[in-house]
Amino acid sequence: MSKFRKEGGKSAPAINTSSLPDIVFMLLFFFMVATTSKESDPTVRVIKPNGVRTQDMTPYKQKSEIDFLYLGKPLNTARARAYAEMGMEYMLFMDNVVQSTTDDIYNVNAIKRWKLDKFESKPARMNETIEGVITCVKADEGAPSGIIFDIRKELQDIDALKIAYAVNKQDKR
């Protein structure tokens, strides 16, 4: 029995933690490489429709050749009700607008300014013309298609001729 008895009550040796930072840094670098940063949190609720055979927008994001536009009902329910009474159910949210309204919610008229401002503030390495910069519309599945065509009309007027319809990627059934 004496085989299992502790001798002298020695405490367990301390674990060497000097390699912990290395492990954590490795994790950190993994996340830095594998992810892309969020543009901005929209103030409208968007549930994207599903679709198959989609195209990945990451390469365009890395080259900053894409701008995002959200279309949905305001997240704030009180505001949503107020807008609905005014006959505006679905509202736009544009990322990184220079001059924002108090609630960050816009109607279609603001698109031209937003798009041109965004084009002005592109990094110098981006050498696309405005025609080639994609406008990615993330619209709620319940939104009326008419607004999509209003957006297209606005974009056409300033010669921003590439539009993308965002969907949730679904594998083929």
Partner 1 sequence: MAKRGIPEVNAGSMADIAFLLLIFFLVTTTMDKDHAYIRSIPKNVIIEIPPEPVEKRNICAIQANAQNQLMIRGELMTNPDDISERVLDFYRENEAQNDPINNFPMYSRISKAEIQAALNLAIDEAEAVEKTPNASQDIIDFKYRQVAEWEKKQSAIDLLGKNVLPEIASQAHIRIEVQKATEYNLFATIQSEIEEAIFELRNDAALTVFKESYKQIQSRLAMDKAPVDRDKMELLKILYPDRIIEVTPRK
What residues line the site for partner 1 (CB under 8 A)?
Answer: 17-18, 20-21, 24-25, 27-28, 31-32, 34-38, 48-59, 61, 68, 71, 134, 136, 139-146, 148-149, 152-153, 155-157, 159-169, 172-173
* Nearest to partner 1 of 11, 18 (CB atom): 18
**Phi (first) and psi of residue 91, to 5 degrees:** -125, 165
Could you tell me the smallest distance in angstroms from the CB atom of residue 147 to partner 1?
Answer: 8
Three-state secondary-structure class, residue 42: coil
CB nearer to partner 1: give 10 or 172: 172
Q: Judge contact between 42 and 70, C-beta under 8 A.
A: yes
Tell me if 164 sits within 8 A of 138, measured CB to CB: no
Instruction: Closer to partner 1 by CB, 17 or 99: give it.
Output: 17
Cα-Cα-Cα-Cα torsion 126, 131, 136, 141, nearest 10 degrees, comes to 180
Tokens for 114, please give them.
Answer: 């937003």
Q: What's the closest the beta carbon of residue 77 comes to partner 1, in angstroms?
A: 21
Min dist. Cβ of residue 64 to partner 1 (A):
13
> What is the smallest separation between the CB atom of 6 and partner 1, expressed in angstroms?
29
> Of 6 and 111, which has the nearer Cβ to partner 1?
111
Burial class of residue 74 (count of CB atoms within 10 Å of its CB; 0-12, 13-18, 19+):
buried
Q: What is the CA radius of gyration of the chain?
A: 25
Shortest Å distance, C-beta 81 to partner 1? 21
103 residue type, one letter: D
